[in-house]
Amino acid sequence: MYQLLLTKRYLSSKIMPLLAALAVALCTAMVIIVWSVMGGFLVMLINSGRTLVGDVSISWPVTGFAHYEDLIKRLEADPEIAGATPMIETYGLIGLPDGRTETVQVRGIDGPSFAKVTEWNDILYWRPKDAPDPKDTGSSDMRLRRKEVWQQIYEGGKKLTRLERSKAHPEGIDRPGVVPGISVSGFNFREKWGFFPGTPYIRTREGDKTPAEMLMLPVDGYVTLNVLPMDSKGRAIEMVARKFPVANEFHSGLYEIDHRTVFVQLGALQDMLKMNRAQRVKEGTGGVVRKGDREEFAAPVVIGEEPARVTNILVRGKRDTFDPKDADKLAERCRQIYGAFAEAHPNEVPDLLSIRIQTWADLNQTMISAVKKETALVLFIFSFVSLTAVFLVLAIFWAMVSEKTRDIGILRAVGASRSGVAGLWLLYGAAIGITGSALGFALAYLIVSNINGIHEWLGERLGLYIWDPRIYYFSRIPSDLQASNVAIVLAGGVVASCLGALIPAARAARMHPVRALRFE
Protein backbone atom coordinates (compact mmCIF):
# COMPACT_ATOMS: atom_id res chain seq x y z
CA MET A 1 0.00 0.00 0.00
CA TYR A 2 2.80 2.42 0.88
CA GLN A 3 4.26 1.91 -2.59
CA LEU A 4 1.11 3.17 -4.29
CA LEU A 5 0.77 6.13 -1.94
CA LEU A 6 4.38 7.24 -2.36
CA THR A 7 4.23 6.74 -6.12
CA LYS A 8 1.17 9.00 -6.34
CA ARG A 9 2.80 11.60 -4.10
CA TYR A 10 6.11 11.67 -5.98
CA LEU A 11 4.37 11.76 -9.36
CA SER A 12 2.15 14.71 -8.46
CA SER A 13 4.55 16.81 -6.42
CA LYS A 14 7.80 16.71 -8.36
CA ILE A 15 8.63 18.34 -11.69
CA MET A 16 11.50 16.00 -12.59
CA PRO A 17 9.32 12.89 -13.02
CA LEU A 18 7.03 14.88 -15.30
CA LEU A 19 10.04 15.69 -17.50
CA ALA A 20 10.79 11.98 -17.74
CA ALA A 21 7.15 11.30 -18.67
CA LEU A 22 7.39 14.03 -21.33
CA ALA A 23 10.48 12.38 -22.82
CA VAL A 24 8.67 9.02 -22.97
CA ALA A 25 5.64 10.74 -24.53
CA LEU A 26 7.70 12.40 -27.28
CA CYS A 27 9.58 9.19 -28.10
CA THR A 28 6.36 7.17 -28.15
CA ALA A 29 4.56 9.69 -30.34
CA MET A 30 7.50 9.87 -32.74
CA VAL A 31 7.61 6.11 -33.29
CA ILE A 32 3.81 5.80 -33.65
CA ILE A 33 3.66 8.62 -36.20
CA VAL A 34 6.54 7.22 -38.27
CA TRP A 35 5.10 3.70 -38.19
CA SER A 36 1.63 4.96 -39.16
CA VAL A 37 2.89 7.03 -42.11
CA MET A 38 5.24 4.34 -43.41
CA GLY A 39 2.56 1.68 -42.90
CA GLY A 40 0.04 3.85 -44.72
CA PHE A 41 2.49 4.31 -47.57
CA LEU A 42 2.94 0.54 -47.81
CA VAL A 43 -0.83 -0.07 -47.83
CA MET A 44 -1.32 2.59 -50.51
CA LEU A 45 1.51 1.08 -52.56
CA ILE A 46 0.00 -2.40 -52.33
CA ASN A 47 -3.46 -1.13 -53.20
CA SER A 48 -2.14 0.79 -56.20
CA GLY A 49 -0.08 -2.17 -57.39
CA ARG A 50 -3.11 -4.49 -57.15
CA THR A 51 -5.34 -1.98 -58.93
CA LEU A 52 -4.28 -3.08 -62.43
CA VAL A 53 -3.42 -6.78 -61.96
CA GLY A 54 -6.23 -8.30 -59.91
CA ASP A 55 -5.30 -11.13 -57.53
CA VAL A 56 -3.49 -13.65 -59.77
CA SER A 57 -1.77 -13.43 -63.15
CA ILE A 58 -1.34 -16.40 -65.51
CA SER A 59 1.27 -15.37 -68.05
CA TRP A 60 3.40 -16.61 -70.93
CA PRO A 61 5.35 -13.52 -72.03
CA VAL A 62 6.19 -12.29 -75.55
CA THR A 63 4.67 -15.05 -77.72
CA GLY A 64 1.57 -15.68 -75.62
CA PHE A 65 -0.63 -18.79 -75.56
CA ALA A 66 -3.77 -19.83 -77.42
CA HIS A 67 -7.24 -21.09 -76.46
CA TYR A 68 -7.44 -18.46 -73.71
CA GLU A 69 -11.24 -18.26 -74.10
CA ASP A 70 -11.49 -21.85 -72.87
CA LEU A 71 -9.22 -21.10 -69.92
CA ILE A 72 -11.33 -18.07 -68.95
CA LYS A 73 -14.50 -20.19 -69.05
CA ARG A 74 -12.88 -22.80 -66.80
CA LEU A 75 -11.68 -20.13 -64.36
CA GLU A 76 -15.01 -18.30 -64.14
CA ALA A 77 -16.83 -21.59 -63.54
CA ASP A 78 -14.96 -21.96 -60.24
CA PRO A 79 -16.94 -20.76 -57.18
CA GLU A 80 -13.88 -19.01 -55.70
CA ILE A 81 -13.24 -16.86 -58.79
CA ALA A 82 -15.21 -13.67 -59.49
CA GLY A 83 -13.82 -13.02 -62.97
CA ALA A 84 -10.97 -13.44 -65.43
CA THR A 85 -9.84 -11.26 -68.32
CA PRO A 86 -7.31 -11.61 -71.18
CA MET A 87 -4.43 -9.18 -71.65
CA ILE A 88 -1.44 -8.73 -73.93
CA GLU A 89 1.65 -7.16 -72.44
CA THR A 90 4.51 -5.92 -74.61
CA TYR A 91 6.85 -2.99 -75.07
CA GLY A 92 6.65 -0.34 -77.72
CA LEU A 93 7.22 3.28 -78.71
CA ILE A 94 4.65 6.03 -78.54
CA GLY A 95 4.89 9.08 -80.80
CA LEU A 96 3.42 12.17 -79.11
CA PRO A 97 1.87 15.21 -80.81
CA ASP A 98 4.84 17.43 -80.01
CA GLY A 99 7.26 15.13 -81.87
CA ARG A 100 8.66 13.25 -78.87
CA THR A 101 8.94 9.47 -78.85
CA GLU A 102 8.82 7.59 -75.55
CA THR A 103 9.38 3.96 -74.62
CA VAL A 104 6.26 2.54 -72.98
CA GLN A 105 4.76 -0.69 -71.76
CA VAL A 106 1.75 -1.49 -73.94
CA ARG A 107 -1.15 -3.51 -72.53
CA GLY A 108 -3.99 -4.73 -74.69
CA ILE A 109 -7.21 -5.27 -72.74
CA ASP A 110 -10.92 -5.83 -73.13
CA GLY A 111 -12.34 -2.87 -71.19
CA PRO A 112 -15.58 -4.37 -69.75
CA SER A 113 -14.04 -7.67 -68.59
CA PHE A 114 -10.88 -5.89 -67.41
CA ALA A 115 -13.04 -3.70 -65.17
CA LYS A 116 -14.48 -6.82 -63.47
CA VAL A 117 -11.01 -7.95 -62.41
CA THR A 118 -9.31 -4.61 -61.72
CA GLU A 119 -10.26 -1.08 -60.70
CA TRP A 120 -10.20 0.12 -64.31
CA ASN A 121 -13.32 2.29 -64.23
CA ASP A 122 -12.21 3.94 -60.99
CA ILE A 123 -8.76 5.04 -62.20
CA LEU A 124 -9.92 6.69 -65.44
CA TYR A 125 -9.04 10.30 -64.71
CA TRP A 126 -11.12 12.40 -67.10
CA ARG A 127 -14.71 12.15 -65.93
CA PRO A 128 -17.36 14.64 -64.79
CA LYS A 129 -16.88 15.95 -61.27
CA ASP A 130 -19.68 17.39 -59.13
CA ALA A 131 -17.71 19.32 -56.52
CA PRO A 132 -14.21 20.82 -56.44
CA ASP A 133 -11.44 19.35 -54.36
CA PRO A 134 -11.23 20.94 -50.89
CA LYS A 135 -7.84 22.33 -51.85
CA ASP A 136 -9.13 23.70 -55.16
CA THR A 137 -10.37 27.00 -53.75
CA GLY A 138 -10.55 28.58 -57.21
CA SER A 139 -12.50 25.72 -58.84
CA SER A 140 -9.88 25.50 -61.58
CA ASP A 141 -10.46 21.80 -62.26
CA MET A 142 -11.76 21.52 -65.85
CA ARG A 143 -13.81 18.44 -64.95
CA LEU A 144 -16.26 20.71 -63.10
CA ARG A 145 -17.40 22.21 -66.43
CA ARG A 146 -18.83 20.72 -69.65
CA LYS A 147 -19.85 17.56 -67.83
CA GLU A 148 -21.50 16.04 -70.90
CA VAL A 149 -18.12 16.09 -72.69
CA TRP A 150 -16.34 14.48 -69.76
CA GLN A 151 -19.06 11.85 -69.45
CA GLN A 152 -18.60 10.94 -73.11
CA ILE A 153 -14.83 10.72 -72.64
CA TYR A 154 -15.31 8.63 -69.51
CA GLU A 155 -17.60 6.16 -71.29
CA GLY A 156 -15.11 5.96 -74.16
CA GLY A 157 -12.30 5.23 -71.72
CA LYS A 158 -14.22 2.26 -70.33
CA LYS A 159 -14.33 0.69 -73.80
CA LEU A 160 -11.03 2.23 -75.02
CA THR A 161 -12.79 4.01 -77.87
CA ARG A 162 -13.36 7.62 -78.89
CA LEU A 163 -16.47 8.88 -80.64
CA GLU A 164 -15.54 10.59 -83.91
CA ARG A 165 -17.95 12.39 -86.21
CA SER A 166 -17.53 13.03 -89.92
CA LYS A 167 -19.63 13.95 -92.93
CA ALA A 168 -20.05 10.28 -93.71
CA HIS A 169 -20.98 9.52 -90.08
CA PRO A 170 -22.57 12.64 -88.56
CA GLU A 171 -23.90 10.60 -85.63
CA GLY A 172 -20.35 9.45 -84.91
CA ILE A 173 -18.64 6.09 -84.74
CA ASP A 174 -16.42 4.59 -82.03
CA ARG A 175 -12.79 4.34 -83.08
CA PRO A 176 -10.39 2.04 -81.18
CA GLY A 177 -8.26 4.27 -78.99
CA VAL A 178 -5.52 4.24 -76.39
CA VAL A 179 -5.59 5.19 -72.72
CA PRO A 180 -2.12 6.32 -71.60
CA GLY A 181 -1.07 7.01 -68.05
CA ILE A 182 -1.63 10.56 -66.85
CA SER A 183 2.12 11.26 -66.95
CA VAL A 184 3.00 9.57 -70.25
CA SER A 185 2.48 12.64 -72.44
CA GLY A 186 4.26 15.06 -70.13
CA PHE A 187 1.50 17.65 -70.75
CA ASN A 188 -0.23 17.15 -67.39
CA PHE A 189 1.28 18.92 -64.39
CA ARG A 190 -0.08 18.26 -60.92
CA GLU A 191 -0.84 21.39 -58.94
CA LYS A 192 0.05 21.78 -55.27
CA TRP A 193 -3.54 20.97 -54.24
CA GLY A 194 -3.09 17.48 -55.63
CA PHE A 195 -4.81 17.13 -59.02
CA PHE A 196 -4.26 17.76 -62.72
CA PRO A 197 -6.31 20.82 -63.72
CA GLY A 198 -6.53 19.83 -67.39
CA THR A 199 -4.61 22.63 -69.08
CA PRO A 200 -1.87 21.05 -71.26
CA TYR A 201 1.67 22.25 -70.53
CA ILE A 202 5.13 21.53 -71.82
CA ARG A 203 8.34 21.86 -69.82
CA THR A 204 10.88 24.52 -70.82
CA ARG A 205 14.65 24.10 -70.82
CA GLU A 206 14.79 26.00 -67.52
CA GLY A 207 12.51 23.40 -65.92
CA ASP A 208 9.43 25.64 -65.79
CA LYS A 209 6.12 24.92 -67.51
CA THR A 210 4.47 26.85 -70.30
CA PRO A 211 1.00 26.32 -71.86
CA ALA A 212 1.06 23.99 -74.86
CA GLU A 213 -0.53 25.17 -78.10
CA MET A 214 -2.72 22.08 -78.51
CA LEU A 215 -5.98 20.69 -77.27
CA MET A 216 -6.20 18.09 -74.54
CA LEU A 217 -5.24 14.60 -75.70
CA PRO A 218 -8.52 12.93 -74.60
CA VAL A 219 -10.51 15.59 -76.48
CA ASP A 220 -8.77 15.84 -79.83
CA GLY A 221 -5.35 14.22 -79.48
CA TYR A 222 -3.72 11.42 -81.45
CA VAL A 223 -0.64 9.33 -80.80
CA THR A 224 1.28 6.82 -82.90
CA LEU A 225 1.93 3.42 -81.36
CA ASN A 226 4.86 1.29 -82.59
CA VAL A 227 5.19 -2.38 -81.62
CA LEU A 228 7.30 -5.33 -82.78
CA PRO A 229 5.25 -8.45 -83.56
CA MET A 230 6.75 -11.93 -83.19
CA ASP A 231 5.65 -15.29 -84.44
CA SER A 232 4.73 -18.23 -82.20
CA LYS A 233 8.42 -19.22 -82.07
CA GLY A 234 9.56 -15.82 -80.80
CA ARG A 235 11.04 -14.58 -84.07
CA ALA A 236 10.64 -10.86 -84.85
CA ILE A 237 8.63 -10.08 -87.98
CA GLU A 238 8.59 -6.32 -88.62
CA MET A 239 7.82 -3.08 -86.79
CA VAL A 240 4.15 -2.08 -87.01
CA ALA A 241 2.94 1.49 -86.46
CA ARG A 242 -0.64 2.68 -86.09
CA LYS A 243 -2.20 6.02 -85.26
CA PHE A 244 -4.77 5.99 -82.43
CA PRO A 245 -7.02 8.63 -80.90
CA VAL A 246 -6.58 9.13 -77.14
CA ALA A 247 -9.77 7.89 -75.44
CA ASN A 248 -8.90 8.94 -71.87
CA GLU A 249 -6.00 8.90 -69.39
CA PHE A 250 -5.67 6.87 -66.20
CA HIS A 251 -4.16 7.71 -62.81
CA SER A 252 -3.24 4.70 -60.67
CA GLY A 253 -1.20 6.64 -58.10
CA LEU A 254 2.09 4.89 -58.90
CA TYR A 255 4.33 7.14 -60.96
CA GLU A 256 6.24 4.30 -62.63
CA ILE A 257 2.95 2.92 -63.98
CA ASP A 258 1.38 6.27 -64.82
CA HIS A 259 4.54 7.39 -66.63
CA ARG A 260 5.31 4.31 -68.72
CA THR A 261 2.07 2.42 -69.42
CA VAL A 262 -0.40 2.67 -72.31
CA PHE A 263 -3.59 0.64 -72.66
CA VAL A 264 -5.11 -0.21 -76.04
CA GLN A 265 -8.01 -2.38 -77.20
CA LEU A 266 -7.16 -6.06 -77.10
CA GLY A 267 -8.28 -6.75 -80.66
CA ALA A 268 -6.29 -3.84 -82.08
CA LEU A 269 -3.09 -4.95 -80.34
CA GLN A 270 -3.64 -8.57 -81.37
CA ASP A 271 -3.89 -7.40 -84.98
CA MET A 272 -0.71 -5.31 -84.72
CA LEU A 273 1.26 -8.12 -83.07
CA LYS A 274 -0.05 -10.81 -85.45
CA MET A 275 -1.60 -12.60 -82.47
CA ASN A 276 -5.14 -12.60 -83.83
CA ARG A 277 -6.92 -15.57 -85.32
CA ALA A 278 -5.36 -16.57 -88.67
CA GLN A 279 -5.04 -19.45 -91.12
CA ARG A 280 -2.28 -21.98 -90.53
CA VAL A 281 -0.39 -22.77 -93.72
CA LYS A 282 2.03 -25.49 -94.61
CA GLU A 283 5.61 -24.34 -94.32
CA GLY A 284 7.32 -23.81 -97.68
CA THR A 285 4.12 -23.29 -99.64
CA GLY A 286 2.90 -20.06 -101.21
CA GLY A 287 4.80 -17.23 -102.82
CA VAL A 288 6.29 -16.92 -106.31
CA VAL A 289 7.13 -20.17 -108.12
CA ARG A 290 8.69 -20.72 -111.53
CA LYS A 291 6.87 -22.79 -114.14
CA GLY A 292 9.10 -23.14 -117.14
CA ASP A 293 9.95 -19.65 -118.31
CA ARG A 294 7.19 -18.07 -116.29
CA GLU A 295 6.86 -17.01 -112.66
CA GLU A 296 3.49 -17.45 -111.02
CA PHE A 297 2.10 -16.81 -107.56
CA ALA A 298 1.12 -19.99 -105.76
CA ALA A 299 -1.45 -19.84 -102.97
CA PRO A 300 -0.27 -21.27 -99.66
CA VAL A 301 -1.63 -24.63 -98.59
CA VAL A 302 -4.00 -24.08 -95.64
CA ILE A 303 -3.73 -26.90 -93.11
CA GLY A 304 -5.75 -25.42 -90.26
CA GLU A 305 -6.46 -22.36 -88.18
CA GLU A 306 -4.08 -20.51 -85.89
CA PRO A 307 -6.04 -19.44 -82.78
CA ALA A 308 -5.68 -15.98 -81.25
CA ARG A 309 -3.14 -15.57 -78.47
CA VAL A 310 -2.68 -13.45 -75.34
CA THR A 311 0.21 -13.17 -72.92
CA ASN A 312 -1.77 -12.89 -69.65
CA ILE A 313 -4.97 -13.94 -67.96
CA LEU A 314 -5.76 -11.83 -64.90
CA VAL A 315 -7.92 -13.42 -62.19
CA ARG A 316 -9.83 -11.91 -59.29
CA GLY A 317 -11.17 -13.88 -56.34
CA LYS A 318 -14.63 -13.41 -54.87
CA ARG A 319 -13.22 -12.40 -51.50
CA ASP A 320 -12.25 -8.76 -51.71
CA THR A 321 -9.16 -9.12 -49.57
CA PHE A 322 -5.55 -7.97 -49.62
CA ASP A 323 -4.29 -10.90 -47.56
CA PRO A 324 -1.39 -12.59 -49.39
CA LYS A 325 -2.44 -15.94 -47.90
CA ASP A 326 -5.82 -15.76 -49.65
CA ALA A 327 -4.07 -14.79 -52.89
CA ASP A 328 -1.74 -17.79 -52.53
CA LYS A 329 -4.74 -20.10 -52.13
CA LEU A 330 -6.34 -18.59 -55.21
CA ALA A 331 -3.08 -19.03 -57.16
CA GLU A 332 -2.99 -22.70 -56.17
CA ARG A 333 -6.56 -23.13 -57.40
CA CYS A 334 -5.60 -21.44 -60.69
CA ARG A 335 -2.73 -23.92 -61.06
CA GLN A 336 -5.15 -26.82 -60.71
CA ILE A 337 -7.50 -25.34 -63.30
CA TYR A 338 -4.65 -24.56 -65.68
CA GLY A 339 -3.36 -28.11 -65.30
CA ALA A 340 -6.67 -29.50 -66.56
CA PHE A 341 -6.69 -26.86 -69.32
CA ALA A 342 -3.17 -27.85 -70.48
CA GLU A 343 -4.17 -31.53 -70.58
CA ALA A 344 -7.12 -30.61 -72.79
CA HIS A 345 -4.81 -28.82 -75.26
CA PRO A 346 -1.62 -30.92 -75.42
CA ASN A 347 1.32 -29.45 -77.36
CA GLU A 348 -0.70 -26.30 -78.04
CA VAL A 349 -0.24 -24.37 -74.78
CA PRO A 350 2.61 -24.23 -72.24
CA ASP A 351 2.56 -27.04 -69.70
CA LEU A 352 1.86 -26.50 -66.01
CA LEU A 353 5.54 -26.53 -65.04
CA SER A 354 6.40 -23.80 -67.55
CA ILE A 355 3.51 -21.34 -67.20
CA ARG A 356 3.92 -18.42 -64.80
CA ILE A 357 1.18 -18.16 -62.18
CA GLN A 358 1.87 -15.29 -59.76
CA THR A 359 -0.11 -13.36 -57.17
CA TRP A 360 -0.32 -9.56 -57.08
CA ALA A 361 2.19 -9.64 -54.22
CA ASP A 362 4.65 -11.67 -56.33
CA LEU A 363 4.35 -9.21 -59.21
CA ASN A 364 5.07 -6.26 -56.92
CA GLN A 365 7.55 -8.08 -54.68
CA THR A 366 10.44 -5.74 -55.47
CA MET A 367 8.59 -2.58 -54.46
CA ILE A 368 6.84 -4.17 -51.48
CA SER A 369 10.08 -5.65 -50.12
CA ALA A 370 11.92 -2.36 -50.58
CA VAL A 371 9.27 -0.41 -48.65
CA LYS A 372 9.09 -3.06 -45.92
CA LYS A 373 12.86 -2.98 -45.46
CA GLU A 374 12.88 0.80 -45.46
CA THR A 375 10.08 0.83 -42.89
CA ALA A 376 11.98 -1.62 -40.68
CA LEU A 377 15.17 0.45 -41.00
CA VAL A 378 13.44 3.72 -40.15
CA LEU A 379 11.67 2.13 -37.18
CA PHE A 380 14.96 0.69 -35.93
CA ILE A 381 16.66 4.09 -36.15
CA PHE A 382 13.85 5.92 -34.38
CA SER A 383 13.54 3.17 -31.76
CA PHE A 384 17.28 3.41 -31.15
CA VAL A 385 16.97 7.18 -30.77
CA SER A 386 14.09 6.61 -28.35
CA LEU A 387 16.48 4.75 -26.04
CA THR A 388 17.49 8.21 -24.81
CA ALA A 389 14.31 8.03 -22.71
CA VAL A 390 15.82 5.07 -20.81
CA PHE A 391 18.95 7.04 -19.89
CA LEU A 392 16.90 10.13 -19.07
CA VAL A 393 14.72 8.14 -16.66
CA LEU A 394 17.84 6.53 -15.21
CA ALA A 395 19.50 9.93 -14.61
CA ILE A 396 16.36 11.46 -13.05
CA PHE A 397 15.71 8.46 -10.83
CA TRP A 398 19.37 8.30 -9.77
CA ALA A 399 19.13 11.92 -8.66
CA MET A 400 15.82 11.26 -6.88
CA VAL A 401 17.24 8.27 -5.03
CA SER A 402 20.06 10.50 -3.79
CA GLU A 403 17.53 13.14 -2.79
CA LYS A 404 15.27 10.64 -0.99
CA THR A 405 18.03 8.77 0.84
CA ARG A 406 16.65 9.68 4.30
CA ASP A 407 13.12 8.63 3.20
CA ILE A 408 14.53 5.30 2.08
CA GLY A 409 16.27 4.92 5.45
CA ILE A 410 13.00 5.58 7.27
CA LEU A 411 11.18 2.99 5.17
CA ARG A 412 13.89 0.43 5.88
CA ALA A 413 13.89 1.29 9.58
CA VAL A 414 10.13 0.73 9.95
CA GLY A 415 10.34 -2.67 8.32
CA ALA A 416 10.26 -2.23 4.55
CA SER A 417 12.16 -5.02 2.82
CA ARG A 418 14.80 -4.55 0.15
CA SER A 419 12.43 -5.96 -2.49
CA GLY A 420 9.71 -3.61 -1.27
CA VAL A 421 11.97 -0.57 -1.69
CA ALA A 422 13.09 -1.75 -5.13
CA GLY A 423 9.47 -2.40 -6.08
CA LEU A 424 8.60 1.17 -5.06
CA TRP A 425 11.01 2.65 -7.62
CA LEU A 426 10.11 0.13 -10.30
CA LEU A 427 6.43 0.93 -9.77
CA TYR A 428 7.35 4.59 -9.97
CA GLY A 429 9.13 3.92 -13.28
CA ALA A 430 6.12 1.99 -14.60
CA ALA A 431 3.84 4.89 -13.64
CA ILE A 432 6.12 7.28 -15.53
CA GLY A 433 6.02 4.93 -18.54
CA ILE A 434 2.23 4.55 -18.48
CA THR A 435 1.69 8.30 -18.14
CA GLY A 436 4.22 9.13 -20.87
CA SER A 437 2.93 6.44 -23.23
CA ALA A 438 -0.66 7.59 -22.78
CA LEU A 439 0.31 11.20 -23.50
CA GLY A 440 2.40 10.07 -26.48
CA PHE A 441 -0.49 8.07 -27.93
CA ALA A 442 -2.86 11.02 -27.53
CA LEU A 443 -0.36 13.32 -29.27
CA ALA A 444 0.29 10.80 -32.07
CA TYR A 445 -3.42 10.21 -32.61
CA LEU A 446 -4.09 13.93 -32.96
CA ILE A 447 -1.22 14.37 -35.41
CA VAL A 448 -1.96 11.28 -37.53
CA SER A 449 -5.69 12.06 -37.70
CA ASN A 450 -4.99 15.63 -38.82
CA ILE A 451 -1.67 15.15 -40.58
CA ASN A 452 -2.85 16.52 -43.94
CA GLY A 453 -4.48 19.54 -42.31
CA ILE A 454 -1.30 20.23 -40.35
CA HIS A 455 0.76 19.87 -43.52
CA GLU A 456 -1.50 22.29 -45.39
CA TRP A 457 -1.27 24.81 -42.54
CA LEU A 458 2.53 24.61 -42.58
CA GLY A 459 2.49 25.13 -46.34
CA GLU A 460 0.15 28.11 -46.22
CA ARG A 461 1.73 29.86 -43.24
CA LEU A 462 5.39 28.91 -43.56
CA GLY A 463 5.68 27.76 -47.19
CA LEU A 464 6.89 24.38 -45.90
CA TYR A 465 5.65 21.53 -48.13
CA ILE A 466 7.29 18.37 -46.81
CA TRP A 467 4.98 16.11 -48.84
CA ASP A 468 4.67 17.82 -52.22
CA PRO A 469 2.16 15.80 -54.31
CA ARG A 470 3.90 16.99 -57.48
CA ILE A 471 6.91 14.92 -56.33
CA TYR A 472 5.36 11.98 -54.47
CA TYR A 473 2.35 11.57 -56.80
CA PHE A 474 0.03 11.02 -53.84
CA SER A 475 -2.33 13.91 -53.22
CA ARG A 476 -2.50 13.20 -49.48
CA ILE A 477 -0.08 11.91 -46.87
CA PRO A 478 -1.00 8.26 -46.22
CA SER A 479 -1.44 6.92 -42.71
CA ASP A 480 -2.48 3.60 -41.19
CA LEU A 481 -2.84 3.63 -37.40
CA GLN A 482 -3.05 -0.05 -36.47
CA ALA A 483 -3.99 -1.11 -32.94
CA SER A 484 -1.37 -3.88 -32.82
CA ASN A 485 1.44 -1.49 -33.73
CA VAL A 486 0.25 1.07 -31.17
CA ALA A 487 0.13 -1.62 -28.47
CA ILE A 488 3.72 -2.65 -29.22
CA VAL A 489 4.96 0.95 -29.01
CA LEU A 490 3.05 1.69 -25.79
CA ALA A 491 4.36 -1.49 -24.18
CA GLY A 492 7.86 -0.49 -25.30
CA GLY A 493 7.47 2.90 -23.58
CA VAL A 494 6.51 1.26 -20.29
CA VAL A 495 9.31 -1.31 -20.53
CA ALA A 496 11.85 1.43 -21.34
CA SER A 497 10.82 3.40 -18.25
CA CYS A 498 11.11 0.30 -16.05
CA LEU A 499 14.57 -0.41 -17.47
CA GLY A 500 15.62 3.15 -16.73
CA ALA A 501 14.40 2.77 -13.13
CA LEU A 502 16.04 -0.63 -12.64
CA ILE A 503 19.55 0.51 -11.62
CA PRO A 504 18.33 3.31 -9.26
CA ALA A 505 15.89 0.78 -7.73
CA ALA A 506 18.73 -1.67 -7.08
CA ARG A 507 20.80 1.15 -5.55
CA ALA A 508 17.92 2.12 -3.23
CA ALA A 509 17.38 -1.52 -2.18
CA ARG A 510 21.06 -1.96 -1.23
CA MET A 511 21.12 1.10 1.08
CA HIS A 512 21.85 0.41 4.76
CA PRO A 513 19.03 1.92 6.88
CA VAL A 514 21.38 3.46 9.55
CA ARG A 515 23.66 5.08 6.95
CA ALA A 516 20.66 6.30 5.00
CA LEU A 517 19.21 7.98 8.14
CA ARG A 518 22.55 9.76 8.77
CA PHE A 519 22.67 11.03 5.17
CA GLU A 520 22.62 14.82 4.77
Q: What is the pLDDT of residue 2?
A: 47
- Output 464 or 241, whichever has higher pLDDT: 241
State mean pLDDT over 442-470.
75
Q: What is the pLDDT of residue 370?
A: 76
Q: What is the pLDDT of residue 403?
A: 62
Beta-bridged to residue 305, according to DSSP, are 279
CA distance 95 to 224: 5
Please report the sign of the dihedral spanned by the C-alpha atoms of residue 333, residue 335, residue 338, residue 339: negative
Give residue-wise pLDDT tens across range 366-419.
777 777 787 788 778 877 777 777 777 777 777 776 666 666 666 656 556 666
Name the range with the highest mean pLDDT among 161-175, 184-198, 326-340: 326-340
The helix-helix angle for 15-51 and 2-13 (nearest 10°) equals 90
Name the range with the highest mean pLDDT among 370-384, 414-428, 466-480: 370-384
Q: Is 62 exposed, middle or buried (0-12, 13-18, 19+ CB in 10 A)?
A: exposed
DSSP string, 216-257: -HHHH-EEEEEE--B-TTS-B---EEEEEEB---B--S-HHH
CA distance 405 to 516: 6
User: Left if phi > 0, otherwise alpha if psi is -120 to 50, otherwise beta: which for 496?
Assistant: alpha
Mean residue pLDDT of the chain comes to 78
SS3 96: coil
What does each C-alpha distance from 476 to 133, 371, 454, 479, 484 come to in angstroms? 12, 18, 12, 9, 24
Q: Is pLDDT of 215 > 50? A: no
CA distance 292 to 4: 116
Please report the sign of the dihedral spanned by the C-alpha atoms of residue 446, residue 451, residue 453, residue 456: positive
Q: What is the pLDDT of residue 149?
A: 83
- DSSP alpha helix (H) spans, 160-209: none
- How far does Cα 223 stand from its chain's mean position? 28
Give residue-wise pLDDT tens across range 93-115.
999 887 888 999 999 999 999 99
Give residue-wise pLDDT tens across range 363-380.
777 777 777 787 788 778
Q: What is the pLDDT of residue 237?
A: 77
The residues spanned by each domain of the chain are 2-46+371-517, 54-363
DSSP string, 38-93: HHHHHHHHHHHHHHTT-SEEEE-TTT-EE-HHHHHHHHHTSTTEEEEEEEEEEEEE
Q: What is the pLDDT of residue 299?
A: 56
Q: What is the pLDDT of residue 159?
A: 93
Q: Residues 320, 61: contact at Cβ < 8 Å?
A: no
CA distance 502 to 516: 20
Backbone angles phi, psi at 33, to 5 degrees: -65, -45
Q: Is pLDDT of 318 > 60? A: yes
Q: Which residues of 380-414 are buried (b: 16+ CB within 10 A; e: fewer)?
A: eeebeebeebbebbbebbbebbeebbebbbebbee
Q: What is the pLDDT of residue 41?
A: 78
pLDDT band for position 232 (50/70/90)? low
Q: What is the pLDDT of residue 255?
A: 74
Backbone angles phi, psi at 349, to 5 degrees: -135, 160
pTM, entire model: 0.72
- The percent helix, strand, coil of the chain (3-state, each to 5) is 50, 20, 30
Provide CB contacts within 8 A for 437, sequence distance 6+: 24, 25, 28, 489, 490, 493, 494
Of all residues in the chain, the percent with pLDDT exceeding 90 is 24
Question: Most distant CA pair in the chain: distance in Å?
Answer: 131
pLDDT band for position 214 (50/70/90)? very low
Q: What is the pLDDT of residue 454?
A: 77
- DSSP alpha helix (H) spans, 89-134: 111-117, 120-123
Q: Residues 263, 107: contact at Cβ < 8 Å?
A: yes
266 CB neighbour count, 10 Å cutoff: 25
Q: What is the pLDDT of residue 382?
A: 76
Q: Residues 239, 152: contact at Cβ < 8 Å?
A: no
Give residue-wise pLDDT tens across range 233-289.
667 778 899 999 999 999 887 777 888 899 999 999 999 998 887 656 556 555 555
Q: Is pLDDT of 205 > 60? A: no
Identity of residue 233: K
Q: Is pLDDT of 87 > 90? A: yes
471 CB neighbour count, 10 Å cutoff: 10
Least confident segment among 161-175, 413-427, 433-447: 413-427
